[in-house]
A and B are shown apart, each in its own frame.
Chain A
Amino acid sequence: NAGVMQNPRHLVRRRGQEARLRCSPMKGHSHVYWYRQLPEEGLKFMVYLQKENIIDESGMPKERFSAEFPKEGPSILRIQQVVRGDSAAYFCASSPDRGKENEQFFGPGTRLTVL
């Protein structure tokens, strides 16, 4: 069973461009979480999605950031008009549909650098 996959692993964007980060959860997992880790800091919750639904987006910046988890395909975190302050590692985690729902399995992260 493959783990949580994220791509790209590294992404470089210039200010004003768009960044798209992808996350494929583990097989059988329909819960996806996105976290952001700024340099020298811990992970901060951004958004929680289930298939086709945003359940909790209380950690998402109000502008420029959006997330989706379509019925088919990976979850996407989109950042429009990136700024230098968006430079961070973005982690996706998934959890199973039943059983140990509170256990989240993390992907390797996408490191976004904004020039």
Chain B
Amino acid sequence: KNEVEQSPQNLTAQEGEFITINCSYSVGISALHWLQQHPGGGIVSLFMLSSGKKKHGRLIATINIQEKHSSLHITASHPRDSAVYICAVRNTGNQFYFGTGTSLTVIP
């Protein structure tokens, strides 16, 4: 059972490209998170969304509750953006479900 599906699994981009990572989920949610995991393992929280859109620097996250879909966009990508991006949702029962991650490599 995959309550959270991400695409693509792997993504390689040239520096400067606009990048989109997609997340679809099948459960009713209270919130959706985008996480970033750098090589070496540490995970940081990028965004928490329950509706609409959020922006932080070159990162933009959107969510469509009706379609059960979220996207993470990176504008003007840079090699330091290379990481695994993980979508996670918290359902109304307070349970977290994680996607398997999208591995992004940005080439100089």
Report whether chain A binds chain B.
Answer: no
State the B residues within 8 Å of A (CB). none
State the A residues within 8 Å of B (CB). none
